[in-house]
Structure 1
Amino acid sequence: MTSLFRLSYAPLFFAGFVGVACCMTHWLNAPLWTLIPLLGLAIGVSFAAEHYCPFEADWNRARGDSQRDTLHALINESLNGLSLMALPWLAVVLPTLDVWPHHWPVLLQLLLAIGWADLGITLMHRASHRYALLWRLHAVHHSPKRLYGFNGLMKHPLHQSLEALAGLGPLLLIGLPVSIASLLAFAIGIQLLLQHSNVDIRVGVLNRLFAWAPVHRYHHIKYGRAGDVNFALFFSFWDHLFGTAFKHPDARVQPDDLGIGSQPDYPDAYLDQLLHPFRTRNKTLKDPQLPPHLVHHRMATRVDGPDQDPAAR
């Protein structure tokens, strides 16, 4: 039973919640605000699944971070909601090409939006690990020392806005409707829960297609540039295309592998995390050495390769 759960959880979680969202808003004509309690239900299911079948039981134990993570989620999702409410006004103000395929079935429209947004967000994510100013904002997301679904919603609001601009900006210019934008925002929330999930997900070859927790955990290791892998939000093939994919059966992320190795004292409080990127002097140390259980040719290339940008750390 547990093996079946490990195999089916991620596909059913994503397809189930996104499918219900599409059904509610487009076939039952439910108001878009009903996606909010549906996301709340998804968070609850995520927590329950993590306790039923954890990847690391220790990551299920709060470390004084529950209130902070809740604030991140509430504020960031509220900002998402306000942004969606502003879309009709933006459609009037901004010139658009109005070439969006409104006549397509809703699922195909959503898939098109996801694919386009995924590329933009992935490129912004890569840039955030290369350029120091962007990294300062993005570092908030990398500061936790445990991974569970809620971490996906833990971002600096300014960095979240930059990702939204990179992912949704081009879509808005070609006439993305508010209803599809709302479903896209919901799908991103569901994907972030899966990407940072503490469920022991085991989906085999699907790791080459979907950027769920089994591949994304390597991205959160604390060993400097070794974690500059698996940037994609939805689809792993972007990382295979860009040469930044990593997944090896002998390299298992351990409980103490997470965080920012060069900033072990990164602030934990919510307001401190919002202000930290703007402080002129952020004390940094040398990145800790990659431990033997993660050493592999691909990881070693990321650590020692010639394309490093030390300013990003």
Structure 2
Amino acid sequence: MIQQPRGGQFAIGDGRLSGYIAVTLALLSFLGVMAFHFPEYLTTPELRQSYDVEVIRIVMFVALVISGALGLWNVIRNVNKRAAFTAWALVIVTIALGGHRVEVGDFPDNTPYLGLDWFILDLLGSTLIFVFIEKLIPHRKQPVLRPEWQTDMQHFLINHLMIGFALLATNQFVNQLFGWAVSDALQTWVQALPWGVQLFAVLLFADIMQYSLHRAYHEVPFLWRFHSVHHSVESMDWLAGSRQHFLELIATRCFVLLPIFVFGFDKSVIDAYIIIVGFQAVFNHANANIHVGWLKYIIVTPQFHHWHHASDKAAIDRNYAAHFSFLDYLLGTAVRGEAKWPEKYGIVGGGMPDGWIKQRAYPFNKPKKSAGDADG
């Protein structure tokens, strides 16, 4: 009998990797067929226009075949049969619901929705890109399924599913409170600027807003109680950035959206910004030993942001920027003169419970204390 290692580590032949791949592909296929049946409620309006349904059908079919084959392979080898049977059950249910052949008719475009499609696409893209990078050039040797990965995957899922509500809340907030600040003349002038200038401007203004609010999260005890959920991660990787209290997520989106709303950047610029911010939010937390030379003083890298999450004394309340590290250097909040990487991560003194539900309630249950005493 093959003894399975602890701590999420894979051993060749134990069936864990093939089992997890089988279950993941089957689950994503099941979610995909549900989105086929209820596109008006489970898909993101901004993404629908970019879909090639026939390509999605092919991808789903291939995923179902691979999932079923991997499950069969594990059963034949008598390893990780629980994952195999779970994958088969999901494959059978998906096929029973129509699988890749489900027809998608016309549907209303203004219904409330959950971002199930955004979750599927982001999970696939993130795992394919960042797990590969982390295995190719890791900062630390750690398993893909490191401690508390289940909690962070729950954050990843819930935050993605609630993206429709988050966008609705932020749009209402900005429109209702700051509609008076919109100037047609200013927006026309901004949209006449070169595309590259607009992109740099939207990244800079958004990062200035993010820096300001991020610093407040650390220096205002009440706000820190919410932000500490994000800082409780003790093993940094591409999934770590998903650990975030939903109320903080909405507040940050509202704040960052302000300059975008007021200046009225070209839609293609905003689309590019969304792609960049989505990539960098994952990239900054990645367990990747990436060096960019002198550019580290200009742009945020995993090394720069890892110091923000460190519980080393020199890292407390430092490295706030999300895009441009020069903001921290200019404002005196950058970590200087330390080793290339921090020793450990998380909240000084610990205390954060594990589990998505407990972390939702944590800011309301934990007594106030100074950010400096708890920060990491």
Decide: shared fold, TM above 0.5.
Answer: yes
Kindly report which structure 2 residues correspond to 1:66-215, keeping only aligned pairs within 5 A, or say none: 66-84=149-167, 94-95=179-180, 96-98=182-184, 99-100=186-187, 101-176=190-265, 180-215=269-304
1:208 alignment partner AA = Y
Aligned pair in 2 of structure 1 residues 310, 199: CA closer, same or farther (>3 Å)? closer
Root-mean-square deviation (Å) = 3.1
Corresponding position: 1:62 with 2:111: no
The answer on whether the counterparts of 2:309 and 2:345 sit within 8 Å (CA) in structure 1 is: yes
Q: Which amino acid aligns with 1:217?
A: H
TM superposition shift of 1:213: 0.8
- Select which of 346, 356, 360 maps to 1:274: 360
CA deviations on 1:99-132 (whole Å, 9 max, x unpaired) are: 2323345444332211110110011111111010
> Secondary structure in 1 aligned to 2:222?
helix
Distance change >3 Å, CA 66–CA 242, structure 1 → 2: same
The residue number in structure 2 matching 1:229 is 318
1:261 equivalenced with 2:348 (yes/no): yes
Match of 2:135 among 40, 51, 61: 51
The percentage of counterpart residues that share the same residue type is 27
Asked if the contact 2:280–2:323 (Cα under 8 Å) also holds between the matched residues in 1, the reply is: yes
Q: Rg: which structure is higher?
A: 2
CA distance in 2, matches of 1:89, 1:128: 23
Paired with 1:205 and 1:151, the residues of 2 have a C-alpha distance of 26
Q: For this pair of structures, how many residues does the alignment match?
A: 257
Amino acid across the alignment from 1:45 = I
CA contact (8 A) 2:206 2:256 kept: yes
| Structure 1 residues 186 and 76, CA gap change in structure 2 (3 angstroms) | farther
Supply the distance in 2 between the matched residues of 1:247 and 1:281 (Cα, whole angstroms).
32
Offset, 1:86: 7.3
How far residue 163 of structure 1 moved from its aligned partner, in angstroms, is 1.5
Q: Shift of residue 215 of structure 1?
A: 1.2
How far apart, CA to CA, are the structure 1 residues paired with 2:51 and 2:272? 11
Moved more, 225-234 or 48-57: 225-234
TM-superposed CA distance for 1:41, in Å, is: 4.5
Residues 25-36 of structure 1 aligned to structure 2 (within 5 Å)? 31=49, 36=118
Higher relative contact order (CA 8 A, sep 6+): 1
Closer/same/farther in 2, CA of residues 133 and 239 from structure 1, 3 Å limit: same
Provide the rounded CA distance (Å) in 2 between the counterparts of 1:32 and 1:110.
Answer: 21
Q: Say if 1:149 and 1:193, in contact at 8 Å, map to a contact too.
A: yes
2:62 aligns with: none
Counterpart residue identity of residue 275, structure 1: A
Residue type at the aligned position of 2:363: P
Question: Cα–Cα, structure 1 residues 90 and 245, in superposed 2: closer, same or farther, change >3 Å?
Answer: closer
* Unmatched runs of 5 consecutive residues or more in structure 2: 1-46, 53-116
Question: Aligned AA for 2:351?
Answer: D
Q: How many Å separate the matches in 1 of 2:316 and 2:348?
A: 11
For 1:218 and 1:159, locate their aligned partners in 2 and report how far apart those are by CA, in whole Å. Answer: 21
- Which residue type is aligned with residue 255 of structure 2? A
- Name structure 1 gaps, 5 residues minimum: 1-28, 285-307
| SS in structure 1 of the partner of residue 199 of structure 2 | helix
Give the match's secondary structure for 1:149: coil
